Every structure is written in C-alpha cells, then in structure tokens.
C-alpha cells in the first residue's frame, strides 16, 4: 500500500477571481499557488476542482455552490477581497454561507499586518456551507502561503500560526475527510480525542 492510499482522498475547490486573468489579459498565478501549497502541505490524495472566474458576485456565488455540491470538503478562493468597487468575493461568499467562521479572517489579517499596514483593508471571510469549509485568501501567491502556513523564525519554529493549522479539525467537525498534514509545512492542531491513530 502506498503512503498516499493510507489517507482519505479529498476533493478541494480552488477558485481564482480576477477580471483580467479570466479574460486572458495576464496569466493567472492564484490557481498554481494554491495547488502547489496544498500538494506540499497535505499527505492525502487530492482531486482539485479549479475555477478561473471574473469579479461578478452572482458568478462567484454560483461557482461556490457548484463546488460544494460536487463534494469539495474545502474551497479556497483567491482575489477580490479588497475595498475596490469590483472586489465582491466576501459578499459572494457570505451569500452562500450556512455559518460564518470569523476567526479565519481575523488571523489572516494579523499575519499580513506583520508585512504591510494595508492588511487592514483586506476583507477575507470564511464560512461553512453544508459539509464544506470555504475560505477567501489574499490575491498574491506570497501572501497566500504566509496566511496558510504562518510565520516561522530562522530556526523553523512557529512564530505566528497559519490558518491551515485549524482547517483539518474544522473539516472533521463538519463531517469531512480526515486531513493529514506534512508537519514540516504545517502542523495541524486537533484535541487528543480527535487524533486518529496511525
């Protein structure tokens, strides 16, 4: 049995929201950044459902519903979370929510504030819809990795926890697959009672 087959398979939706990238004006960097980070961080076999769509609220909400209905336990979006007129990702996400998870957005802004004071302009939200966790991430690949992984000192010790440390247990609680992380990238936190024996 291969190592990957020892872990639950997971379906993950990755959504890059950009008028210009979706119309071919420039190359999308959001989807590759999300996919590469998740492949490093998770030991589970992953089936990705990628979407590259414009900043249209109804279209974003429709894509999120479609991905949840397709069985994605986790949906990560990138782009469209600032204060500009075309930035409507948080509104589209809240429109499909069954529960809000405000701690994710709070922690992402805390991480980003370590780098730029304009992090307070970010409006990322996270929600639960059915058995799926949907999280809005920043638009830049570097910021995506920082918010998911957190900050480490030069010796590799965690200084600020990334948001992904809480994702596996959240997915446990909403009835999704058991996610195993590569601890060199991101150590998931679960109460002892929730840890599955190897």
How confident is the model over 125-177, as pLDDT tens digits?
A: 999 999 999 999 999 999 999 999 998 888 878 888 899 999 999 999 999 99
- What is the distance, to the nearest Å, from the Cα of residue 141 to the centroid of all Cα atoms in its chain? 12
Q: Contact, 171 vs 177, CB < 8 A?
A: yes
Report the relative pairing of strands 126-129 and 132-137 from DSSP bridges: antiparallel
pTM, entire model? 0.95
How confident is the model over 173-187, as pLDDT tens digits?
A: 999 999 999 999 999
Residues 6+ apart with CB under 8 A from 129: 64, 65, 68, 96, 97, 98
Residues 6+ apart with CB under 8 A from 77: 14, 15, 16, 17, 60, 64, 89, 93, 134, 135, 136, 137
Instruction: Classify 4-194 by CATH class.
Output: alpha beta
How confident is the model over 26-69, as pLDDT tens digits?
A: 899 999 999 999 999 999 999 999 999 999 999 999 999 999 99
Segments making up each domain of the chain, as ranges: 4-194
């Amino acid at each position: 049995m291969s190592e990957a087959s020892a872990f639950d398979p997971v379906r993950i939706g990755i959504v890059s929201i950009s008028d210009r990238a979706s119309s071919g004006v420039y190359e999308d960097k959001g989807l590759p950044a999300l996919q590469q980070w998740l492949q490093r961080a998770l030991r589970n076999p992953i089936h990705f459902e990628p979407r590259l769509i414009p900043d249209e609220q109804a279209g974003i909400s429709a894509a999120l519903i479609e991905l949840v209905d397709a069985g994605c336990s986790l949906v990560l979006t990138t782009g469209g979370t600032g204060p500009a007129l075309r930035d409507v990702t948080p509104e589209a996400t809240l429109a499909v929510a069954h529960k809000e998870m405000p701690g994710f957005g709070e922690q992402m802004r805390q991480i980003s504030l370590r780098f730029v004071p304009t992090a307070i302009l970010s409006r990322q939200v996270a929600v639960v819809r059915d058995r799926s966790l949907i999280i809005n991430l920043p638009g830049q690949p570097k910021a995506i990795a920082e918010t998911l992984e957190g900050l480490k000192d030069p010796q590799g010790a965690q200084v600020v926890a990334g948001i992904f440390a809480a994702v596996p247990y959240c997915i446990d609680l909403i009835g999704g697959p058991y996610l195993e992380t590569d601890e060199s990238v991101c150590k998931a936190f679960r109460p002892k009672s929730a840890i599955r024996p190897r």
